[in-house]
Structure 1
Amino acid sequence: MSSPADPLPNPKLLSLPDAVAWRGQLRAAGRRLVLTNGVFDLLHTGHLYYLQQARARGDALCIALNADASVKQLKGPLRPVQTESERAYALAALACVDAVVIFREKRLTGEIRALQPDVYVKAGDYTLEKLDPDERGALQACGARIEFLPFLAGFSTTSLIAKIKAAGEI
């Protein structure tokens, strides 16, 4: 789905209603949906490892991608480095990613309720207690298995940005 102002064709970028219809097809075929979410501003090795591991937990992987406005709230006024369209395009180029949905609310609760994933995956820097209570409740209500993948230390967008800045000053 791309708009006239968005020259990046991206068939894996779905509106929430289209993602719900796709989810229905998966369910009818007996396929398990894995859902994860995040900013994914500059894709790095940690992201790639995490997404491949997430995809291995089911038959299809959907990424709920933070919209630009929410990234600014979470990460500060200079982020995201790439627009939501650019981030969605990069994620969709990965073989392990089956769909991307941009979410615009502060929390993912509505998307969880709509998509009813079989598995929800977060990185190991999260715990069940750190999950938003409404999101956790929505996951439990739809029977999703919640998994925390081991955190791959040494990889972060913030440290990557710092390295890029330092390299530019050499």
Structure 2
Amino acid sequence: MKLSNPKLLSLEDAIAHRNALKAEGKSVVLTNGCFDLLHTGHIYYLRKAAALGDALFIAINGDASVQALKGPTRPVQNAEERAYLLGAIDFVDTLFVFHTPRLTAEIETIRPDIYAKAGDYTLDTLNPEERTALEACGADIQFLPFLEGYSTTSLIAKIAKAAETF
């Protein structure tokens, strides 16, 4: 079943939407991630990211990318399902899925005003190609507070432990 999600756009449509927002003088915040099992830490971080600008764009790792990053048992939910959940959040403006290991080309075409990552990242730990693309387009790179104790990995571990009691 195809899930209806008007916020999930092709990259081309996301670029067009970004350009329309820019013409209106509105700022775009870009972030990215797997968002495999949406949890409290995600919402905390995304709410802070959204507050940095006028529109929050989220680039979602495609399924093969998640598997390459997280291992053979991931993603737990496919990209369409992950995008559907993120699309239900009122402060999320636009979603698109990327299928490459890095977000460099998408950064170069979206040209965000602000790029947000959780505080477990630093300038030194950002991928060098992505960082170069962000600096080239003049994006303000922001590292937001990381809510300790909330991660998809820890959530999966909790669920696995709870399942042992059944």
**C-alpha separation in 1, matches of 2:94 and 2:27:** 13
Counterpart check, 1:154 vs 2:149 = yes
1:16 to 11, 15, 27: 11
**C-alpha separation in 2, matches of 1:94 and 1:60:** 13
Counterpart check, 1:143 vs 2:150 = no
2:89 to 80, 89, 94: 94
Instruction: State the Cα deviation string for residues 23-70 of structure 1 (Å, max 9, x = none).
Output: 011000000000000000001100000000000000000000000000
With normalisation by structure 2, the TM-score equals 0.98
Instruction: State the Cα deviation string for residues 66-118 of structure 1 (Å, max 9, x = none).
Output: 00000000000000000000000000100111011100000000100000000
**Number of positions where the alignment pairs a residue of Structure 1 with one of Structure 2:** 165
CA apart distance, 1:169? 1.3
1:78 to 59, 73, 80: 73
**C-alpha separation in 2, matches of 1:164 and 1:66:** 23
Give aligned-pair identity as a percent.
Answer: 63
2:30 to 26, 29, 35: 35
4+ long deviations beyond 6 Å: none
What runs of 5+ residues in structure 2 fail to find an aligned partner? Answer: none
CA apart distance, 1:120? 0.1
- Over the aligned positions, Cα root-mean-square deviation in angstroms equals 0.6
Amino acid at match of 1:11: P
Counterpart of 1:109 in structure 2 is 104
**C-alpha separation in 2, matches of 1:156 and 1:19:** 28
**C-alpha separation in 2, matches of 1:32 and 1:110:** 20
CA apart distance, 1:164? 0.7
**C-alpha separation in 2, matches of 1:132 and 1:61:** 21
Amino acid at match of 1:50: Y
What runs of 5+ residues in structure 1 fail to find an aligned partner? Answer: 1-5
Counterpart of 2:58 in structure 1 is 63
Amino acid at match of 2:127: D
**C-alpha separation in 1, matches of 2:122 and 2:161:** 33
